[in-house]
Structures are given as C-alpha cells and as structure tokens.
Amino acid sequence: MTTIRTARGRLALLPVALLAASVAGCGTKHASDDASAGGASPSVVATPSAAATPSTPADFPCPGESPTATPRPSTYSPSPTAPPTDHYAENHGFMVPFALHGKRRCQGLAAVGRVRAALEPLRRRGDFTADGARRALAGIGYSAGQVQTYQDGSGVGFLIEVDDYPVCVEGRMTGAETKADTFGGYPDHNGCDQPSGGH
C-alpha cells in the first residue's frame, strides 16, 4: 500500500512540476534568439514602438539667429557598426551632455554671445590667464560659484553654470578665437562639470 500511495503522490505532483518548468522559461527570450533561429531580424524585434520613444522638443530660430539655421548636432554619436554586445556607448552615456531645445537653447545661445563679447578684449590683448577670464566673466554677472577657469595649454578654458536648471556654457579662449558651446548638464549628475563616474 505504501508503494501505491507514493506513486499516486508522485503522479499528482507531475502536472505541478510541468507547470512550474514552463513558467520558469517565460521571459527569457532575447532578440538575438530569433535571429539565430531564423526568425525575425533583431532590428525588427528590438525596435521600440513609437509610443516608447520620447519626442524631442521643436527648436525654433532664436533672436539674432538665421531662420534657416539648424541646431548644431551633438559631437557624440554611437557607432552604427559596433557589435550589439559592445556596451561602451551605454556604459559611458552618463558623460554625454544633454542638448538644449526651445527657449533654453535660446537662453544658452544668448549666454554664449555675452561670454564671447566679454572675453574678446582679453583675447585681442593676449591676456590668457585664468584670473583675467574669471574677472571678465564676473563683470557680466557670473559669481565665483558659477565660473570655473583654468589654464589650457596656450589658452584659457572655462565652464559656466548660467543657471541651476542647468544651462551650461563651456569653451576655450586662444590667440586665434574664443570658442564656446552650450548644453544642459549631464544625466544622473547635478551641475555642469563632467561626471567622472556613473551607472
């Protein structure tokens, strides 16, 4: 009798065991599984739906900007030829600054114009000191807490936190020119300085 009860108990557990095994396999399918099995291509499987893709705010010409001018594209672009297992771009995304759009882009471009105008007299005089640049930027209203200046080879580099949203201006003044660009901070980081670590 004991043998019959044990066999019946085992048979009763068989459907439960099969159900558990089938459920445990759910959700473990990857886009690469379909491609290797001759199914749909990974680009079809891995393409996010339009509803999942955030939209970029529309840009418009800012005061003093040509109506046909288009915003300068980001200098960062992931390599389209990188193998799907290469996570370099994903792992270093925290170092890619946000682009400014709409009114914030116009605010950034106006700040770039003010910074260039303040530093141009120094550049023409050949005053390439961090202190001189800091004083010139303080003269247009940026406090010591908003400005970082540093010697950069034969020129001066600068980073300004225009506001805490943030709108940032970064650039370099050399004998040839004053370059400046604007951006909106970094992911997972407060302020305008480039983060040294992320996740």
87-125 tens-digit pLDDT: 766 766 777 899 999 999 999 999 999 999 999 999 999
Cα separation, 4 vs 8, whole angstroms = 6
In a domain, 199, yes or no: no
Domain that holds residue 145: 102-183
CA dist 36 to 41, 42, 45, 86, 132, Å? 9, 9, 13, 18, 62
Residues of the chain with pLDDT under 70: 1-56, 67-86, 88-89, 91-92, 197-199
What pTM value is reported for the model?
Answer: 0.61
In a domain, 117, yes or no: yes
Cα separation, 173 vs 126, whole angstroms = 10
pLDDT value for 44:
44
pLDDT value for 140:
96
Instruction: Tell me the one-letter amino acid at 145.
Output: G
CB-based contact 191:184 (threshold 8 Å) = no
In a domain, 157, yes or no: yes
In a domain, 179, yes or no: yes
**Count of structural domains within the chain:** 1
In a domain, 8, yes or no: no
pLDDT value for 102:
92
CB-based contact 123:173 (threshold 8 Å) = yes
pLDDT value for 195:
83
In a domain, 156, yes or no: yes
Placement of tokens 């992320």 in the chain:
198
In a domain, 127, yes or no: yes
In a domain, 28, yes or no: no
CB-based contact 31:42 (threshold 8 Å) = yes
